[in-house]
Amino acid sequence: MIVDHIRNREKYYFLGEAYKTALDYFATVSSGEFDEADIKLDNEVVIKARPMSTKELKDCSFEAHRKFADIHFVVYGKERIGYTDINKLGNAEYNEESDVAFFEGEGDLITLMPGYFLIALADDAHMPCVCVDKPEKLGKMIAKIKL
């Protein structure tokens, strides 16, 4: 897992062209509200623009993917994202069609503010959309990168 501010995106270009494409796109996004959309940047990168609300920790669960890495980018609002190594969690049923497995367990919480991103790879179980103080509006974009 990687967490950083978008201004430092060039440090992560070594991950590959798809990561560069997604991070450079995020750097062009303004901080205003937006509509829900799926934006296909190329054959390797799809951006899911999602206005949503954060939730209480008890209402969230860990997830992990096998086919796609996620880059979570906060446009407005703030969220905490739980993180733990997938091997520290119990077994979960994997949904091949939606490329997700949901887990219960414990991990660390990282706060993301506007302009920050988190890269979650296949072994990175992550719990998005946890509120910081109380539930609030959150505008985030998630890049899906083929692994």
Please tell me which residue, 75 or 123, carries the higher pLDDT value: 75
Residue-wise pLDDT for 5-36, tens only, equals 999 999 999 999 999 999 999 999 988 889 99
Name which of 126, 110, 106, 144 is nearest 3 in CA terms.
Answer: 110
Q: Which helix (H) or strand (E) holds 145?
A: strand 137-146
Task: Please enumerate in sequence order all residues whose Cβ is within 8 A of that of 125, keeping only pairs 6 or more positions apart, or say none.
Answer: 62, 63, 64, 82, 83, 84, 85, 86, 88, 89, 103, 105, 107
Predicted local distance difference test score (pLDDT) of residue 91: 81
| Amino acid occupying residue 146 | K
Nearest Cα to Cα of residue 81 among 126, 125, 50: 126
Q: Which of 127, 117, 124 is nearest to 80 (CA)?
A: 127
Maximum pairwise Cα distance, the chain: 39
The separation between CA 136 and the C-alpha centre of its own chain, rounded to angstroms, equals 17
Q: Is the pTM of this model over 0.75?
A: yes
Q: How far is CA 15 from CA 86, 96, 145, in A?
A: 21, 25, 11
Burial of 80 (0-12, 13-18, 19+ CB in 10 A): buried
- 65-105 tens-digit pLDDT: 999 999 999 999 999 999 999 989 988 889 999 999 999 88
Report the CATH fold assignment for 2-146: Jelly Rolls (2.60.120)
Residue 49, both tokens = 């623009």
